[in-house]
Chains A and B, each alone.
Chain A
C-alpha cells in the first residue's frame, strides 16, 4: 500500500466542500488510509503560471517536498484536477529539465522550505482508487447499487491535457487514456451505474473564465449539459471542483438569463460511489450541491 498524503487544495476547502467531505468518508469506508498534507500551499490554479511559469512549478514542488521530506510519504494524492495537473506538470518539468530542478531547489533553500528531490509521485483520486481497488474491489465493498442510473462521466481538461505531462497514461491495459478517459466510468459502472456514451468527456467548461467571460462559459456549459441529455444521461458525474461549480453556476445562469432549462443533475463521483457503499447522503454532502439531485436519487431507489 502506498503511503499517501492527501492534498485537498483551496477549492475543496471553499466552494468544493462537499467534494472534500465525500472524499474523506468514501476513503474511510473503502478501508484506505491517507494523511492530510501538512500545512500545504495553493498550487497556483490556472492563473499563476501566466504571471511566471516557475512560480507554479515551485508551488507544487513545495507541496511534494512537504510530503516526502517532512512526512515520509511516497505519494501525493489530489482529487482536484487543477491541483493534480499542476503537481504532474511540476513533476514532469523537474524530471525533464535539470535547469528547472536547480531553480526549484535554489528557491527552496532561499525560503527555508523543504527541498524537493523528485522522490515522490503524484496521483489523482481516480487513479488511486483504481490502483488500490479497481472495479472488482468496489464491487466487493458495495452494500447498495446505483440501480442503473444513467451517468455521463465528465473529466474536463486538466485531467488529460496536455498528454505530455502524464507519461503513465496511454500505456495500454490498466492505464487511463488521455483521449477517452475511462477510470470514472469503470468505477461507477462497477457500482451499478449505466455509463452513457458521452462525446464531450474532455471538453472544456470554460472554468478559467467562469466570471471574466460568463457568456462563453455559459455557452460551453450548455454544450455539455445538452449533449449529456441527448446521450440519455440523468446525471453528470464530476471529478473536479471547478468543473462542478462551473456546471452548477452556468446551469443556473442559462436558466435565469437566457431561459434555457436543463434537467440533468451534477453530482461528484465520490458522492455516487459513497451512496453505493451505503453511506448517508447527508455525510456525503449531497444536500449541499446546488444542483438538486435528491428527488432523482430517491426515485431510482439509491437513497
Chain B
C-alpha cells in the first residue's frame, strides 16, 4: 500500500525500491515502499513497577491510552516529538530501548499540569515525566538534567535552613550546570533591574547572599525530613 504518513515510521524501517515486482506484479512507483516487520523481544516486564517506585510514577498503571495528556501538553505544542501518551505506553510495555531514544527531551516537561488536570484516570502524567527523567539519571542513561540539579539545589537549601534564597539558588545552579553566570541578556536584565530598585532592597538582597534567611525554629526538621526521604527511597528501590 502507499504510505503517506512516513513521519510516523522510523527511517531505518522504511524500505524503498526503485523497481519492484511482487508475485509477478510490477508495483514500482507509488506502491514501492514497505515497512520492515519487527518482533519486539526486548521488553522488560518489571519496568512499570520500577517507574511506580519513583516520585510521581505511582499511578502509571492506570493509563487507558486516551491521549488527553499529549493533546493538552504545553511541550507537545512546541515539539511534536514530546509525547507523554506514547511514553506512558512504552513504560507499561516495558520497552526501555524505545524510551531511551527520547532521553534528551523527556526532562523538558514544564510541570504546567494541563495533563494531570485533564487525565480521566488520575495517572498524573506530569509526575510520570519526572519519574522517567529520574530513572534515566539513576541508570546513568542521561546526565543529571539541569532541572534535577535545580530540584536538588532547592531541597538541599531547605534541609539546611527551611528557606531558599533565589540568588544563591541561581549561583549554585549556574555553577553546577557549567553555564556562564553572566550571559548577555542577563546583564541587560540585571542592569534594568538595578536601575530602579531601592538601595534598601539591593542591600537586603546582598545581605541575603551572605546571611541566608533561616527559619529560626527549623531545629531538627531538616534532618527528620532528610531521614524520612532516605528511608522511603531505600524501601522503594531496595
A-side interface residues toward B, CB under 8 Å? Answer: 10-11, 13-15, 17, 39-42, 44-55, 58-59, 62, 107, 110-113, 157-158, 160-164, 178, 203-204, 206-209, 211-213, 216, 219-220, 248-249, 252-253, 256-257, 287-290, 292
Contact = CB atoms under 8 A, between A and B. Distances in A.
6 A-B pairs with the lowest CB-CB distances in the bound complex, closest first = A212-B146, A204-B112, A41-B162, A161-B113, A47-B154, A14-B166
Contact of B110 (A13, A58, A220): A220
A41 B218 contact: yes
A208 B150 CA distance: 10
Contacts of B146: 209, 211-213
Interface string B157-191: 11000111111001001100101000011001100
A217 to B, nearest CB: 8
13 contacts: A14-B166, A14-B208, A40-B215, A42-B157, A47-B155, A48-B154, A50-B56, A50-B148, A52-B232, A204-B112, A208-B111, A211-B179, A287-B196
Interface of B: 55-56, 74-75, 78, 108, 110-114, 116-117, 122, 127, 130, 134, 145-155, 157-158, 162-167, 170, 173-174, 177, 179, 184-185, 188-189, 192-193, 196-198, 201, 205, 208, 213, 215-221, 224-225, 228-229, 232-233
Contacts of B205: 14
B113 A157 contact: yes
Contacts of A39: 215-217
Contact of B163 (A41, A50, A160, A288): A41
A288 B78 contact: no
A216 B216 CA distance: 38
A189 B197 CA distance: 29
B57 to A, nearest CB: 11
Given A50-B56, A51-B55, A216-B75, A45 B170 contact: no
B154 A44 contact: yes
B229 A111 contact: no
Contacts of B127: 53
B111 A46 contact: yes
Nearest to A15: B166
B228 to A, nearest CB: 6
A107 B184 contact: no
A208 B193 contact: no
B220 A111 contact: yes
Given A111-B224, A216-B108, A253-B185, A17 B201 contact: yes
B226 to A, nearest CB: 9
Nearest to A85: B113
Contacts of B228: 52, 54-55, 107
Contacts, number: 176
A288 B201 contact: yes
A90 to B, nearest CB: 14
A10 B164 contact: yes
Main secondary structure, interface of B, reads helix
Nearest to A59: B158
A190 B124 CA distance: 38
Given A11-B166, A51-B152, A216-B75, A42 B224 contact: no
B34 to A, nearest CB: 37
Given A44-B154, A107-B225, A112-B219, A256 B184 contact: yes
B118 to A, nearest CB: 8
B167 A14 contact: yes
B62 to A, nearest CB: 14
Contacts of B166: 10-11, 14-15
Nearest to A17: B201
A140 B7 CA distance: 60
A248 B153 CA distance: 24
A51 B229 contact: yes
B78 A216 contact: yes
Contacts of B112: 157, 161, 203-204, 208
Contacts of A113: 217, 221
Nearest to A163: B117
A62 B154 contact: no
B200 to A, nearest CB: 10
Nearest to A251: B189
B179 to A, nearest CB: 8
Nearest to A40: B215
B56 A288 contact: no
Given A10-B166, A256-B188, A288 B196 contact: yes
Contacts of B201: 17, 288
A227 B174 CA distance: 31
B221 A62 contact: yes
Contacts of B163: 10, 41-42
A42 B162 contact: yes
Nearest to A179: B117
Contact of B155 (A48, A163, A207, A257): A48
A10 B165 contact: yes
A288 B153 CA distance: 28
